[in-house]
Amino acid sequence: MKSTVETLSPTRVRLSVEVPYEELSQHLTQAYQQIGAQVRVPGFRPGKAPRAVIDQRVGKDTIHAQTIDNALPRKIADAYAENEIRPLGRPSVDFESTELKENEEFNFTVEVDVAPDFDLPELNELTVTVDSTDVTDEQVDQEIENLRLRFGTLKTADRPAQNGDFVTMNLAATIDGEEVEGGTATDMSHEVGSGDLVEGLDEQLVGMKADETRKFQTKLVGGERSGEDADIEVTVSVVKERELPELDDDFAQLASEHDTLEELREATREQLATRAESGQLQQARERTAEALIEAVEMPVPEGVIDDEVQQRRAQLDEQLAAMGANLETYLSAQGQSADEFEAELKENATTGLRRQLILDKIADSKEVKVSSEQLTSEIIRRAQQQGVPQDRWQEFANTLQERGMIPSIAAEIRQALALEEVVREAKVVDSSGTELTNEQLFPALEGQDEEADEESEATETEAPKAE
């Protein structure tokens, strides 16, 4: 087989391919076997009719078309490899002729989107900023106040409702006197001011007493009647106020294992600092990726972006249909127009593709490899995330393999490893201006490593195998 490549644009190429007739012989034999098994010829068992008889029954055009279908994926892949082409998206194939002539070459062309050529920035010149792990007194106060709210109690209040109170109420929504499906609730508990229900409800509840009824109009959000004006009738039956425990040592003992409020505050400060530290690496990854995308100029193949947008749109349509909704009601609930939605989809798809291409090039330049242990660990993580029991992990891995998903999972791991390499080279500072070291971002937790090794040895025979 011979092939040549022609550059049509920075993101698209055309391959001209010549396949000798003899290289199609096995595919021709396969085509006769496939079609022969489907053709019923009197006097012959299925699949045993001679080629000449099959030609008479279905015509050589059908045989040739099946042969091409069988050969094409392999020959296109060979042409990619021969010309070191990394395709993006689906190829467009054009044939000079679909007729196969003995001892004559079969010719076709392939147009496909490819990754553009671009330069990577100097990674050690990238600077990204992450949140500081410094914990303020206000953050500690807020955390303890949240804890205090969890230990609060409700008591009936003989007064009008205020923000922060809880009311028990009956709610009914109608449009032109007709009850809105799903718009009626009885003895519902609701926190005034939370904004969890229909627009305008909280403003009406403030000042209402037990056994009082009010009516108002609002625009529905979500559901089949989303965007329509509805009449709302709300009746309050009970108003309750929240009583919070005093912030003292007794509260510390009630809400924690600490004896004093000061000890609880100090422990809370440490927890917030630990939480902030664990979030710094994730922030560093994401903000480094953003910095890379901003630093690299490249054209993107519009065909690939369009395919990705259509795929994301189709996935959303399926999810909405499963919930009994559609795109129109979804956009209304989001306060978004169809044009804004399409623009957002395209922007997200473009950003995702740019990130993928950049990280793939970095992985190539740094010769990043994905080990079988890393791949197996990711498969186990996904199985656990989906609630797959341990005795079915191998079955889960086999399913991924059958669906052809293992290569894409390995590619995601490789990109994550490449991004980690960039984070190690980049300058990472926190919001207070302090530069963070790799030791701070990637702490050497030897104890955890040893524990992980022990667990790996203990489960080695049970872990799913992926290649």
Tell me: pLDDT of 447 over 80.
no
pLDDT at 367: 95
pLDDT at 138: 95
pLDDT digits (tens, 9 = 90+) for 253-273: 999 999 999 999 999 999 998
Q: Cβ-count burial of 19 within 10 angstroms (0-12 exposed, 13-18 middle, 19+ buried)?
A: buried
Please give the average per-residue pLDDT across 97-117, as a whole number. Answer: 88
Distance CA 319, CA 222 (A): 15
pLDDT at 274: 87
Lowest mean pLDDT segment, chosen from 13-17, 72-76, 193-197: 193-197
Indicate the pTM of the whole model: 0.70
Tokens in use for 221? 């959000």
Average pLDDT along the chain = 89
Count of helices and strands (H, E) across the chain: 15, 11
pLDDT digits (tens, 9 = 90+) for 165-176: 999 999 999 999
Lowest mean pLDDT segment, chosen from 93-102, 124-133, 266-275, 312-321: 93-102
Tell me: pLDDT of 198 over 90.
no
Q: Any residues with CB less than 8 A from the CB of 378 and at least 6 apart, and which?
A: 409, 412, 413
Tell me: pLDDT of 288 over 90.
yes
Tell me: pLDDT of 327 over 90.
no
pLDDT at 467: 53
Tokens in use for 239? 């108003």
Candidates 123, 73, 169; CA nearest to 295 is: 123
Tell me: pLDDT of 332 over 90.
no
Tell me: pLDDT of 459 over 50.
no
pLDDT digits (tens, 9 = 90+) for 403-437: 989 999 999 999 999 999 999 999 999 988 899 99
Tell me: pLDDT of 443 over 70.
yes
Tokens in use for 367? 């010769």
pLDDT at 449: 46
End-to-end Cα distance, the chain: 30
Tell me: pLDDT of 445 over 60.
no
In DSSP terms, 173 is beta-bridged to 232
Q: How many CB atoms lie within 10 A of CB 261?
A: 19
Task: Please identify which residue in the block is written with the tokens 């992990």.
Answer: 393
Which carries the bigger pLDDT value, residue 1 or residue 419? 419
pLDDT at 225: 77
Task: Please identify which residue in the block is written with the tokens 């949140």.
Answer: 131
Alpha helix (H) ranges present in 296-371?
302-322, 327-334, 338-365
Candidates 264, 370, 301, 287; CA nearest to 91 is: 301
In DSSP terms, 184 is beta-bridged to 172
Candidates 57, 50, 112, 59; CA nearest to 87 is: 112
Asked if residues 422 and 123 have their Cβ atoms less than 8 Å apart, the reply is yes
| pLDDT level of residue 129 (50, 70, 90 thresholds) | very high
pLDDT at 243: 92
3-state secondary structure of 132: coil
Tell me: pLDDT of 452 over 70.
no
Q: Any residues with CB less than 8 A from the CB of 207 and at least 6 apart, and which?
A: 160, 161
pLDDT at 214: 96
pLDDT at 342: 92
Please give the average per-residue pLDDT across 295-324, as a whole number. Answer: 90
pLDDT digits (tens, 9 = 90+) for 360-370: 999 999 999 99
Tell me: pLDDT of 458 over 80.
no
Candidates 149, 150, 192, 185; CA nearest to 167 is: 192
Please give the average per-residue pLDDT across 102-122, as a whole number. Answer: 91
Q: What is the percent of the chain where pLDDT is above 70?
A: 94
Distance CA 280, CA 126 (A): 17
pLDDT digits (tens, 9 = 90+) for 222-244: 667 777 889 999 999 999 999 99
Please tell me the total number of residues recorded for the chain in this structure.
467
pLDDT at 446: 39
Tell me: pLDDT of 372 over 50.
yes
Tell me: pLDDT of 444 over 70.
no
3-state secondary structure of 179: strand
Q: What is the percent of the chain where pLDDT is above 90?
A: 65
Asked if residues 31 and 59 have their Cβ atoms less than 8 Å apart, the reply is no
Please give the average per-residue pLDDT across 10-35, as a whole number. Answer: 90
